[in-house]
Structure 1
Amino acid sequence: MRTQGFTLVEVLIVIGIIGVLMGLAMPTYLGWLAASEAQQAATTLAQEIQRVRTDVKRATLSTTGAQPQASLTTTANSTSFTAAGRTVSLSNARIQTARTLTFEAPYGTLVLPTGTSLPLTITVSSSRNATKTRTVRVISLLGKVVVQ
């Protein structure tokens, strides 16, 4: 009489095949995960640049008559940045470029430091794999942002 089920040898062969397939798929998955983290961080940074610009456009003239300004500041090799006085943390990503972007009312125009030209770039990389990077570019004085 034969009992139904798997033998130990059959189970070990299946486990071996699964191990080989996982070994082949894991590097691809980790590369995709790192690229995805860099893309998410770059998108967050681009959205915060637009938010700072929008906030300064909505600001009204102060009682002293000075134009309201708002800034976004990044620090090299950092996992966070400051946007209009608020700290934003990036999960599993690092900012590679130190830069300060200042926008002024009433149109939310970008104030360029002396000797600086457009586009202004900020590079973001994955914390898992530093070769997976995305670049956030501010390409106009009106704050147009492109993620590459």
Structure 2
Amino acid sequence: MTTRSGRSGGFTLLEMLVVLAIIGILAGIGYFNYLRQIRIGQVREAATQVATDLRTARDSAMRLTQPASISWTTTTPISSYNLNLPGRNTARNVPNSLNFVCQSGCDSKKIAYQAPYGELNGATGTILRFDSPLVDKIFYVKVVGVTGKVILTDKL
């Protein structure tokens, strides 16, 4: 199609390059945000696994009226732990090659629930910190009070 001035209608090469550059910049920003969200999800998954295992230990101590615990051997950082339930002990690894740090209440390297009420044995609270060097988001698993209630949060 030709206009009055003799130019054909459409886009110039320069206009197309500018549009492609803008699309490339937006795609790059979106990609890095996507990667950040994936890494945050991995940290959350690791914290959720340990919190779930702590709840399982507490529930087993109450339901089966036998002590249950989670224990680890290293001081820090912790990449694996043992889930000690009545009748079975399971070695567990923190998912996605992440680690956690026991921030407070970890002198015995163990969180033990006593039967029949699922109370903590000799401790009144523990805080486990989950983070990754690749993201700035930190998750905490708190074992609170004598009752040993497990809370997963992103606030200390």
Q: Same fold (TM over 0.5)?
A: yes
Letter of the 2:120 counterpart: L
Letter of the 1:73 counterpart: S
Unaligned runs of 5+ in 1: 1-6, 61-67
Contact residue 79 and residue 95 of structure 1 kept, 8 A: yes
Partner of 2:126: 120
Unaligned runs of 5+ in 2: 1-11
Tell me, in whole angstroms, the C-alpha distance in 2 between the residues paired with 1:89 and 1:15. 45
Which protein has greater RCO, CA pairs closer than 8 Å, 6+ apart? 1
Tell me, in whole angstroms, the C-alpha distance in 2 between the residues paired with 1:41 and 1:89. 9
Partner of 1:3: none
Tell me, in whole angstroms, the C-alpha distance in 2 between the residues paired with 1:19 and 1:81. 44
Tell me, in whole angstroms, the C-alpha distance in 2 between the residues paired with 1:31 and 1:53. 33
Contact residue 82 and residue 88 of structure 1 kept, 8 A: yes
User: What displacement does 1:138 show?
Assistant: 0.8
User: What SS does the corresponding residue of 2:71 show, helix, strand or coil?
Assistant: strand
Say whether 1:106 aligns with 2:116. Answer: yes
Q: Evaluate the alpha carbon distance shift between residue 118 and residue 27 of structure 1 in structure 2; reply closer, same or farther with a 3 A threshold.
A: farther
Q: Evaluate the alpha carbon distance shift between residue 83 and residue 18 of structure 1 in structure 2; reply closer, same or farther with a 3 A threshold.
A: same
Higher Cα Rg: structure 1 or 2? 2
Letter of the 1:121 counterpart: I
Contact residue 80 and residue 94 of structure 2 kept, 8 A: yes
Identity of aligned residues (%): 28
Tell me, in whole angstroms, the C-alpha distance in 1 between the residues paired with 2:53 and 2:133. 20
User: What displacement does 1:31 show?
Assistant: 2.3
> Aligned residues, how many?
136
User: What SS does the corresponding residue of 1:78 show, helix, strand or coil?
Assistant: coil
**Backbone CA RMSD of aligned residues:** 2.9
Contact residue 43 and residue 130 of structure 2 kept, 8 A: yes
Tell me, in whole angstroms, the C-alpha distance in 1 between the residues paired with 2:61 and 2:150. 16
Alignment equivalent of 1:16, drawn from 15, 21, 24: 21
Tell me, in whole angstroms, the C-alpha distance in 2 between the residues paired with 1:45 and 1:28. 26
User: What displacement does 1:120 show?
Assistant: 1.1
Partner of 1:90: 94
Q: How does 1:8-87 map to 2 (within 5 A)?
A: 15-60=20-65, 68-74=66-72, 75=74, 76-84=76-84, 85-87=89-91
Q: Evaluate the alpha carbon distance shift between residue 91 and residue 127 of structure 1 in structure 2; reply closer, same or farther with a 3 A threshold.
A: farther
User: What SS does the corresponding residue of 2:27 show, helix, strand or coil?
Assistant: helix
